[in-house]
Amino acid sequence: MPYSLKDRSVLVVAGSRGLGAEICRKFAAEGAKVAVGYVSNKARAEDVAKECQEKYGVKTAVFQGDGGSFADCERLVEETKKEFGGLDVVINNAGWTKYTQFGDLYALTEEEWDRAFAVNVKGQMALCRAALPTFNENPDGGVYIVTSSVAGKSIGGSAMAYAVTKAAQLQLIRCLAQTQGPKARINAVLPGLLLTEWVEDFPDEWKKGAMARSVLNRSTDLEDCANVYVMLAKNSSMTGNLISVDAGVNIIGR
């Protein structure tokens, strides 16, 4: 049966801007308590929390944490549980990339490759691991949803490290879903090009090319994408799914 989000406790890691902020709004609109995670911009996170609280009348909180740090992932979970009295849904919207020429094997340093793996793969596992004991104690279990990317299924993207780590992330999601049920529903959303601050500094030609490769000849709509997270959280029969919301970039055979 459908899983009601009203009064559930939701943690959104990297929730202070762009897609993360829109996800916070969508879950608040469902009546959920929302913890807004941020890395460095506390003011932006507080603005999102205030908006959710005033518009939807839900309890909110703001917590600092780096999605690439095991210790921070564990602390974010514990702080949310302490503030809300529990934890039902975790959205890991954290990601790292740096625009480079895709085929340039010297474009990224060893430290940058390590950073990509830390945020896009290792931190994703750490946050899930931190939340699982609570999910297993909950009568209705819990939900873990990761923001991935169409880059994980294609040969291309903002950087080779991003594509490689996103591909590893997708395998991780399937492995977690297979091994950590039945009380945890674990899925990933794969957005296409979202015209948010995430790509603000990317070349215009790159963005135009990404839109041209889509069947719908446009970018991915931010609200359309955020709605999928709510759908996945409410659907009690879905786990291990990799859901593309990409305006038709990765249709098989294209």
Given the DSSP bridges, would you call strands 9-13 and 89-92 parallel, antiparallel or unpaired? parallel
The number of CA neighbours under 13 Å toward the Cβ of 198 is 23
Which CA distances in Å does 77 have to 17, 112, 210? 20, 26, 35
Active-site pick, 149, 158, 214, 244? 149
Separation CA 3–CA 25 (nearest Å): 18
Element (H, E) at 168: helix 160-180
Name the amino acid, one letter, at 131: A
Whole-Å CA distances, 251 to 84, 105, 161: 41, 28, 23
* Catalytic entry in 166, 219, 229, 244: 166
Kind of pairing between the strands at 33-38 and 142-147: unpaired
Structure tokens at 69: 């740090």
Per the annotation, the verdict on 166 as an active-site residue is yes
229 is catalytic: no
Could you say which of 3, 38, 144, 162 is catalytic?
162
- Based on the residue annotation, tell me whether 162 is a catalytic residue of this protein: yes
Q: Which residues are catalytic?
A: 149, 162, 166
